[in-house]
């Protein structure tokens, strides 16, 4: 079971983008999946065609030291975090070929984190997850910190008592994972998987309307969070091809 995820967010310049994507999908990702312990890899492009109900209540970090890339999301899955630390990302970078170093050097505002799974639930569409456990065609991934230390318990309670159970019955949801970071700026992350963007837009934004009390709890919790730049991102999978 894939209980660990290495996530990288970044932007790309327009010039040379197609060349980079061809290299990433045809060369880099297949080679990376030959590393011991890597179970799957997936590459997503963020979309702005997103329906939400969070406008005006999400806070983002203003720390200039936190890289701001968010247009592309590269994910790797493993059974445990160990494969991502043996070798470490820095050790992998030292061994890059000149061509790989040039391609990866095109990334702008690159930010990375390695997560361990805190909890997961399967949605109604879990049967549509691929056999190799690659995440679905559409994801929503948030990365954030609790506003204060004393807010951590409430955040944990909210996920386990409300948000995760909601995903078990949400139409179009393949599954949802709550993640905790081992390395990286954000302590918390959540990864939702959907069968399509249209299904996500149709059902996710209003999924709490049937319970105003719990909806108010959500509002109180999310207003305290400090998100990474661009978080949460909704992404469409580029690789493996859908």
CB 147 within 8 A of CB 220: no
If you write DSSP's letter for every residue of 145-181 in order, what string do you get?
Answer: E-SSGGGHHHHHHHIIIIIHHHHTT-TTEEEEEEEEE
Phi-psi sector, 85: left (phi>0), alpha (psi -120 to 50), beta: alpha
Q: Token match 């951590």: residue? A: 152
pLDDT for 241: 95
Q: Does the pLDDT of residue 231 top 90, yes or no?
A: yes
Q: Does the pLDDT of residue 57 top 90, yes or no?
A: no
Domains of the chain: 4-49+60-239 (3.30.70.100)
pLDDT for 95: 96
pLDDT for 52: 86
Average pLDDT over every residue of 134-156 = 96
Phi, psi of 84 (to 5 degrees): -85, -5
pLDDT for 56: 80
Of all residues in the chain, the percent with pLDDT exceeding 90 is 95
Q: How does DSSP classify residue 125?
A: T
Average pLDDT over every residue of 179-186 = 98
pLDDT for 19: 98
Angle at 40 between CA 201 and CA 2, to 5 degrees: 85
pLDDT for 76: 98
pLDDT confidence bin for 196, thresholds 50/70/90: very high
Model pTM score:
0.96
Rounded CA separation 83/193 (Å): 23
Using DSSP bridges, classify how beta strands 226-227 and 59-60 pair: parallel, antiparallel or unpaired.
parallel
CB 209 within 8 A of CB 215: yes
Q: Does the pLDDT of residue 53 top 90, yes or no?
A: no
Residues 8-38: pLDDT tens digits? 999 999 999 999 999 999 999 999 999 999 9
3-class DSSP assignment, residue 127: helix
Q: Token match 């030291």: residue? A: 65
Rounded CA separation 214/197 (Å): 25
Residues 79-123: pLDDT tens digits? 999 999 999 999 999 999 999 999 999 999 999 999 999 999 999
Rounded CA separation 167/165 (Å): 5
The burial class, CB within 10 Å (0-12 / 13-18 / 19+), for 36 is exposed
Q: Does the pLDDT of residue 145 top 90, yes or no?
A: yes
């Amino acid at each position: 079971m894939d209980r660990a995820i290495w996530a990288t967010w970044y932007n790309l310049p327009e010039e040379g983008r197609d060349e980079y994507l061809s290299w990433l999908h045809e060369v880099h990702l297949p080679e990376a999946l030959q590393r011991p312990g890597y179970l799957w890899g997936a590459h997503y492009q963020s979309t702005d065609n997103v329906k939400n109900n969070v406008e005006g209540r999400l806070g983002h970090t203003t720390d200039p030291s936190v890289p701001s890339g968010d247009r592309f999301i590269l994910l790797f899955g493993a059974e445990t975090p160990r494969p991502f630390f043996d070798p470490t990302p820095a050790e992998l970078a030292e061994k890059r070929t000149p061509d790989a170093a040039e391609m990866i050097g095109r990334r702008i505002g690159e930010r990375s984190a390695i997560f361990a799974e805190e909890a997961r639930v399967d949605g109604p569409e879990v049967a549509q997850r691929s056999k190799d456990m690659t995440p679905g065609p559409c994801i929503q991934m948030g990365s954030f910190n609790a506003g204060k230390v004393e807010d951590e318990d409430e955040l944990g309670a909210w996920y386990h008592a409300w948000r995760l159970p909601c995903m078990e019955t949400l139409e179009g949801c393949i599954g949802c994972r709550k993640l905790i970071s081992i390395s990286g700026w954000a302590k918390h992350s959540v990864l939702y998987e959907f069968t399509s963007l249209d299904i996500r837009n149709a059902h996710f934004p209003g999924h709490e309307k049937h319970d105003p009390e719990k909806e108010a709890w959500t509002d109180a919790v999310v207003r305290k969070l400090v998100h990474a730049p661009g978080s949460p991102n909704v992404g469409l999978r580029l690789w493996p091809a859908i």
